[in-house]
Amino acid sequence: MAASKYTNSNIRLQTWDYRSQAAYFITICTQNRIPHFGTIRNGKMELSPIGSLAERFWLEIPNHFPNVILDAFVIMPDHMHGILILGKRLECTEYTEDYKKSRRVGTGELSGLNKVLSDRSPKGGSVSVIIRSYKSVVSKNARLIDPGFQWHKLFYDVIIRDQHHFENVRNYIVRNPENWKR
């Protein structure tokens, strides 16, 4: 039997609502780990024009998702790491009672197709929607510089569970350029 193709939905913690207030350690890689974002010299990251775009658009995330707070992040030659903190959800990212009622049919449940799409589709304000938007805007602008630019299909996340874990992740991110050769 052939191995199944991975999708974002099966690498996420299935019991977790990724719209929940929490800190998330995010890693996003370029396709085939091509170093589009720059180079490391003497333990410091020197951003390419595409790397500058990746940094600029990361910093703009809270402008488009007001429930997001950014913490430590680093753009590396072929990937980036960052901590996203989802704060209090705003009404615009929550399902209101009126919306829920408008989606119900006959039995008071979502219809078959709507239920499938509801279960599989990233939810508004979720980590997946935020990262999809980020990757999209970087791709659109990076391809004006290098038409071959691509992200790896997936991104990786870790839910940061406590302050000790948070500090370890933050230190890992900050030290990533100096540890590049290791």
Contacts of 87 (CB under 8 A, 6+ apart): 21, 67, 68, 69
Q: Where are the domains of the chain?
A: 16-89+125-175
3-class state of residue 34 by DSSP? coil
With 0-12 / 13-18 / 19 or more C-beta atoms within 10 angstroms meaning exposed / middle / buried, residue 80 is buried
Model pLDDT, residue 88? 58
pLDDT digits (tens, 9 = 90+) for 10-62: 566 777 888 889 999 999 999 999 999 999 999 999 999 999 999 999 999 99
Model pLDDT, residue 17? 82
pLDDT digits (tens, 9 = 90+) for 127-165: 999 999 999 999 999 999 999 999 999 999 999 989 999
In the predicted model, what is the mean pLDDT of the chain? 80
pLDDT digits (tens, 9 = 90+) for 85-112: 998 543 333 333 332 333 333 333 333 3
Q: How far is CA 163 from the centre of its chain?
A: 21
| Domain range 16-89+125-175, CATH architecture | 2-Layer Sandwich (3.30)
Q: Give the CA-trace dihedral at 66, 72, 78, 79, to 10 degrees.
A: -60
DSSP 114-125: HHHHHHHSPPTT
Model pLDDT, residue 47? 98
Smallest CA-to-CA distance from 36 within 72, 73, 75 is with: 75
